[in-house]
Structures are given as structure tokens and as C-alpha cells.
């Protein structure tokens, strides 16, 4: 039987419900080889296979002997990527992660819980019974307090970030960018390098993270580009995926009958509903790895060493082999945290504990303050293969009780 790959450029796939397409891949083509000769990709969609690819410690994110994709020209984007912890391999990745890692443990992240709670409360304080809000705009403001404490970024600097952040995400493209997109990516990459260089000059009392970066630069452990890139990485990871995940959580509350009631009745289910939101709507839908060793898969295929693998996290999170009734948002699901939304292996998301803290505080505040959340208009998602975040989610809240 011939399996047809979903049209990755089809707006209905990019912005809509991907579950049927993902199920087709898992069932009929769990290891799908596609692409032009010389640029072939092996697409993995089952949980066990995706997890194995992400956890393989010998796999790379860049081709062997390269520090950036061959198709990316020299310029600000390539300069930024070479210093980006998310897109570098050992030993560079280990060195960068070693500098900032101690500040992102579960214990350290829990210290920021109060800041997250304050920002959520500030966003919800003005909403009375029947109040309307764009949940995406609200979610975008929640991470401000945490990022203010981490990198010293003042509130008044947020506007230009919101205008450029989505364009910057093109740096994660698994495929060559057309010239006009590459030009825009170079433009926004230079903007961020310049912005954080200027911010360092304005910080009279830098936060602990920034002091740590500057000390590493002074000792020769980090270059200036790496300092700027790590500051931007903290902003990028701490803002974009958090905004997306909070928006997705609100959407679940607004569209799944009884979900808020179940969590309100037992607040010990808050962590569970957060994990279900991350599982059902992974903020990052797929990751790329380049294998240096063979990878046996569940259908008997052996993906060869040297292969470029696209690990479809969004499909793996809906795998009924691991998650019974995978489309159901169940805050009591015992294995919800087995989702792969934070990646895995050497590149497991460093900010996962902090993201969970912010999501938990948001969920708690919502169920305590409101009896229900309803959609107040059509939602809209960005047509992105990897980052299909909500662009708008108008909702109406109803008071509890």
C-alpha cells in the first residue's frame, strides 16, 4: 500500500487539527523516507521511535564537521546559530549548557513561582464576570516578571520583541529558506544581537544570570556572541513556548466540557492538566537529528547512520500505544508526563521546570477565579510546521460560584 505524506504546505494541516494525519503516519508509515536525493529525511512518528531518536546521545543537530546547515549563508543568522545552545553540538553545547544550567534546576525555578503568580494575577485582576480577553495577548504578558528577574529586560522593551519573535523562529527551519525569508531572518538576528549588547550597557545591577554570563566571558569561557545568544535563548525559550503553552491551556479549558470543574474540584490535578496541555498541543511539533549510529525502529526498519531524522513530537504525543484515548484531555492521566514536548537527551529543554511553574500558576489562578471560560470568537493559528502557535484566542470568562 502506498502512503501519501500529508501536504506540509497545506494551511489546513498547518493551522488545523493534525491528529488524523499523524495517526496515518503512525499506523501506515511510522518510518517514512522522503525528500530529494542528497537531502533525504526519515520521518518518525511513533512515541517509542521519536523518543529513541531524541535520546540517542550520539546524534547531532548539525551535520558532522559543520556548525550550521550547509544551506545557511554567512551572515547574522549563521553567527547567531553558531552560538545558540539549542542548535549546537558537543563540545560547544556542553560548555554553553554548563554555564547556565545551574540556574534552571527545579529548585531554582520554584523560586520564581511567586513572580509567575504575580504576573498571572495582574493579567486577571481586571476581568470581571463576562469579561473578554485575547488569551494570546494575556499569555504573552505572563512571562514578563520571570524574564525581568532572569535577564533584566524592562517591560517597555517588550513591544519590539513581539513584532520580531515569530520571524526569528525561522532559524529552526529543517529545510532551506527561500532568499526573502533568509534575508528577514538575518535582519531579526542582527536586531537581537544589537538589542542584548545594548541591554548589557544599560544594566546597572545585572541579575544573577547575566552576572554569570559576564563572568564566563571575562574568564574566556564564553565569547561575546555566546553571551548575547544565551540571553536571547533565555528570552526565546522563556517567552515563545511559554506564551504558546499558556494559550493552549486556556483553549483546552474553553473547549473541553467539565475540564475546569474537574481541576477546580481537586487542585492536585493542576500538574496533570498542565502535562495534558503540553501533550495534546506540543508547542514545538518536531525536532531534527542527524544519526551517527543505526537506529532500529518499531516497524523493523533500521534507519542508517548518517540519516537525517525528523522526529514528530506532536504525533508521538498522540500515540495510542502509550496514551489510551489519546485525544482525551484527562488531568488524572497517570502517564501524561511521558509526553515528549520538552525534547529529550542532551537537548532536553533546560527551561522545562520553569515552564511548568508558569503553567501551573496560570492553571491554578484560572480555576480559582473563574467558573468557566468560553470562546468569544474564532481562534487563529500561525501556519507553521514546527511552531503552530495561536495567533488569536478571544475568550469570555465567567465568575466562579
325: region left, alpha or beta (phi > 0 left; psi from -120 to 50 alpha):
left
Residue with cell 540517542: 56
Nearest to 162 by CA among 194, 188, 126: 188
Q: What is the mean pLDDT of residues 371-376?
A: 96
User: In the prediction, which pLDDT does 123 show?
Assistant: 87
pLDDT per residue as tens digits for the range 224-249: 999 999 999 998 888 888 999 999 99
| DSSP H or E run through 110 | helix 106-110
Q: Which segments of 282-350 are extended strands (E)?
A: 286-290, 295-296, 302-303, 308-312
| pLDDT tier, 250 (very low <50, low <70, confident <90, very high otherwise) | very high
Which residue in the block uniquely carries the three cell numbers 489519546?
326
Q: What is the CA radius of gyration of the chain?
A: 21
pLDDT at 1: 45
Mean pLDDT value across the chain = 93
Q: Give me the mean pLDDT over the 204-209 stretch.
A: 94
- Looking at residues 4-23, what average pLDDT do you find? 86
- Tens of pLDDT along 49-67? 999 999 999 999 999 999 9
Statement: residue 35 has pLDDT above 90: no
Would you call 364 helix, strand, or coil by DSSP? helix
What is the reported pLDDT for 3?
Answer: 54
Alpha-carbon distance of 333 to 269, in angstroms, equals 9
Counting Cα atoms < 13 Å in the Cβ hemisphere of 263 gives 34
Percent helix, strand and coil across the chain, each to the nearest 5: 55, 10, 35
CA 84 to chain centre: 15
Quick check: 7 pLDDT over 80?
A: no
- Mean pLDDT value across residues 326-351: 95
Reference 56, options 291, 360, 296; nearest CA is: 291
Rounded CA separation 209/213 (Å): 6
Q: Which fold has domain 11-399?
A: Cytochrome p450 (1.10.630)
Task: Tell me which residue of 282, 245, 272, 254 sits closest to 18, measured CA to CA.
Answer: 282
pLDDT digits (tens, 9 = 90+) for 301-324: 999 999 999 999 999 999 999 999
Classify residue 60 by its DSSP letter: B
Cα–Cα nearest to 80, from 167, 180, 140, 202: 167
Residue 289 near residue 295 (C-beta atoms within 8 A)? no
* Distance of alpha carbon 79 from alpha carbon 189, whole angstroms: 9
Three cell numbers written together for 31? 518510518
pLDDT digits (tens, 9 = 90+) for 64-117: 999 999 899 999 999 999 999 999 999 999 999 999 999 888 888 888 899 999
Render pLDDT for 276-295 as a digit per residue (tens, 0 to 9): 999 999 999 999 999 999 99
- Cα 397–Cα 372–Cα 353 angle in degrees, nearest 5: 90
Amino acid at each position: 500500500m502506498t502512503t501519501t505524506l500529508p501536504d506540509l504546505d497545506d494551511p489546513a494541516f498547518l493551522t488545523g487539527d493534525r491528529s488524523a494525519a499523524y495517526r496515518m503516519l503512525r499506523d501506515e508509515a511510522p518510518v517514512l523516507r522522503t525528500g530529494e536525493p542528497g537531502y533525504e529525511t526519515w520521518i518518525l512518528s511513533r512515541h517509542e521511535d521519536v523518543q529513541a531518536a531524541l535520546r540517542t546521545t550520539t546524534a547531532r543537530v548539525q551535520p558532522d564537521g559543520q556548525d550550521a546547515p550547509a544551506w545557511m549563508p554567512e551572515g547574522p543568522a549563521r553567527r547567531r546559530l553558531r552560538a545558540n545552545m539549542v542548535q549546537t553540538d558537543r563540545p560547544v553545547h556542553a560548555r554553553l549548557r554548563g554555564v547556565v544550567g545551574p540556574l534552571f534546576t527545579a529548585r531554582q525555578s520554584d523560586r520564581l513561582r511567586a513572580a509567575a503568580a504575580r504576573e498571572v494575577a495582574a493579567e486577571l485582576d481586571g476581568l470581571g464576570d463576562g469579561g473578554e480577553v485575547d488569551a494570546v495577548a494575556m499569555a504573552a504578558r505572563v512571562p514578563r516578571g520571570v524574564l525581568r528577574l532572569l535577564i533584566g529586560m524592562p517591560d517597555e522593551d517588550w513591544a519590539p520583541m513581539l513584532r520580531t519573535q515569530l520571524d526569528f523562529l525561522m532559524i529552526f527551519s529543517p529545510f532551506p529558506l527561500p532568499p526573502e525569508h533568509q534575508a528577514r531572518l538575518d535582519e531579526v538576528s542582527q536586531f537581537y544581537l544589537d538589542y542584548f549588547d545594548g541591554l548589557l550597557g544599560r544594566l546597572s545591577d545585572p541579575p544573577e544570570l547575566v552576572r554569570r554570563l559576564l563572568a564566563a566571558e571575562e574568564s574566556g569561557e564564553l565569547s561575546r556572541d555566546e553571551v548575547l545568544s544565551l540571553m536571547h535563548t533565555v528570552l526565546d525559550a522563556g517567552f515563545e513556548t511559554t506564551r504558546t503553552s499558556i494559550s493552549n491551556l486556556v483553549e483546552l479549558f474553553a473547549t473541553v466540557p467539565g475540564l475546569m470543574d474537574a481541576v477546580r474540584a481537586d487542585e492536585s490535578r493542576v500538574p496533570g492538566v498542565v502535562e495534558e496541555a503540553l501533550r495534546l498541543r506540543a508547542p514545538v511539533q518536531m525536532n531534527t537529528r542527524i544519526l551517527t549510529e543505526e537506529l532500529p525502529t518499531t516497524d523493523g526498519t533500521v534507519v542508517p547512520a548518517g540519516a537525517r531524522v525528523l522526529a514528530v513530537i506532536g504525533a508521538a504525543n498522540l500515540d495510542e500505544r502509550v496514551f489510551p484515548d489519546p485525544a482525551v484531555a484527562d488531568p488524572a492521566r497517570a502517564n501524561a508526563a511521558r509526553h515528549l514536548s520538552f525534547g529529550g537527551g542532551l537537548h532536553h529543554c533546560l527551561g522545562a521546570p520553569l515552564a511548568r511553574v508558569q503553567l501551573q500558576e496560570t492553571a491554578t489562578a484560572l480555576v480559582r477565579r473563574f467558573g468557566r471560560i468560553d470562546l468569544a470568537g474564532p481562534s487563529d493559528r500561525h501556519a507553521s510546521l514546527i511552531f503552530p502557535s495561536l495567533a488569536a484566542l478571544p475568550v469570555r470568562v465567567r465568575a466562579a460560584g
